[in-house]
Amino acid sequence: MTPVVGRKATGLVAATFTPLTPEGEINLSEIRPYIDYLLEQQGVKSIFVNGTTGEGMSLTVEERKLLAEEWCHKGKNKLEQVIVHVGCMSLKDSQELARHAAEIGADGIAVISPSFFKPATADALRMFLQEVAAAAPAVPFYYYHIPAVTGVNLRSRDVLEGIEKQIPSFQGLKFSGSDLMDFGQCVSYSPSHWSLLYGIDEQLLGGLAMGANGAVGSTYNYLGSSVNRLMSAFHKGDLPNARTLQFQVQDILCYAIKMGFDLAVNKQLMSEVSGLALGPPRLPLLPCPQPKAHSIAQRLQQILGEQ
């Protein structure tokens, strides 16, 4: 089969939060202003939907369909890329979401490794990915590597071995791991039409140095403007400025971690910075006390104001 070559994902990709009502139901009305905020305030033109940041694994299949459809519909002719995460513990659910993503015109689909019954080998994981991709063969396909969450510690480079023969639609990798040797080996192995997207926000500069085409992350929802400058400085060869901007991101996250930083805090922080009503996380995550997020938002503004 001829490989599917989609528009190459580059630059910053915001891993979107899922807006919920105070009662914990999905809140589709916040998606249009959310997209406008990313474009107008952060200069972020692509999104990654229903992933870890979006609490995708805590949502029902039907909720994920509704959200994906709304993001694609409201982002049409505005966003450059809408990549929909369709990974589930169930192969059948993943295939259903992949077919739906194709129907609504998603620019790409991504799949995380199952993490309850874990694949024991790279071959087993590739077989799972192949079955999902086959449900939407015309949609660019990304493997989403995040071992700290899945507990699946297979090297991405091993997963990529011969993958385009099994998955002609394979387009690239979202690498949310800290092993830069593994990431570098993925870059070295990859053909030019793949996108290698780095997913550890506080280490982005290292990922760029290894050859990342772009980055997917939660902090780009509210730090996108600064990180766009970081990437621009790097590509211009202005490493001192790129390093300074990376250190600012690290300073913000170090402060947040000292305060106790998790997805609930991150989501509330986005609400504080953007003014969007994103609501609470879904159980078992507990809501973030508003003063904590407010304190982090103040520190963020202080650090960015020093630049």
Instruction: Extract the tokens encoding 134.
Output: 């086959």
Which of 88-97, 109-118, 290-299 bottoms out in mean pLDDT, i.e. has the lowest?
A: 290-299
Measured CA to CA, the distance from residue 215 to residue 220 in angstroms comes to 9
Measured CA to CA, the distance from residue 293 to residue 272 in angstroms comes to 7
Measured CA to CA, the distance from residue 186 to residue 287 in angstroms comes to 37
Annotated binding site: 53, 216
Of all residues in the chain, the percent with pLDDT exceeding 90 is 96
Measured CA to CA, the distance from residue 163 to residue 126 in angstroms comes to 7
Measured CA to CA, the distance from residue 100 to residue 50 in angstroms comes to 13
User: 81 by DSSP, 3-state: which?
Assistant: strand
pLDDT value at 3 more than 90: no
Tens of pLDDT, residue by residue over 88-111, are 999 999 999 999 999 999 999 999
Measured CA to CA, the distance from residue 198 to residue 207 in angstroms comes to 6
Q: How far is CA 165 from CA 126, 161, 191, 195, 212, in A?
A: 11, 9, 13, 17, 23
**Which residue has tokens 């023969």?**
165
Q: Which residues are catalytic?
A: 144, 174
Annotated binding site for pyruvate: 53, 216
Output helix, strand, coil percentages for the chain, rounded to the nearest 5. Answer: 50, 15, 35
Domain over 11-236 is classified CATH 3.40.50.720: no
Task: Indicate the domain borders of the chain.
Answer: 11-236
pLDDT recorded at residue 1:
43
Backbone phi, psi, residue 151, to 5°: 75, 10
Which of 174-183, 201-210, 283-292 bottoms out in mean pLDDT, i.e. has the lowest?
A: 283-292
Instruction: Extract the tokens encoding 265.
Output: 């805090």
User: 167 by DSSP, 3-state: which?
Assistant: coil
CB 201 within 8 A of CB 214: no
Tens of pLDDT, residue by residue over 38-94, are 999 999 999 999 999 999 999 999 999 999 999 999 999 999 999 999 999 999 999
CB atoms within 10 A of CB 302: 12
Among 3, 9, 12, which Cα is nearest to 216's?
12
Any residues with CB less than 8 A from the CB of 155 and at least 6 apart, and which? 122, 179, 182, 185
pLDDT value at 306 more than 80: no
Bridge partner list, 12: 215
Tens of pLDDT, residue by residue over 161-171, are 999 999 999 99
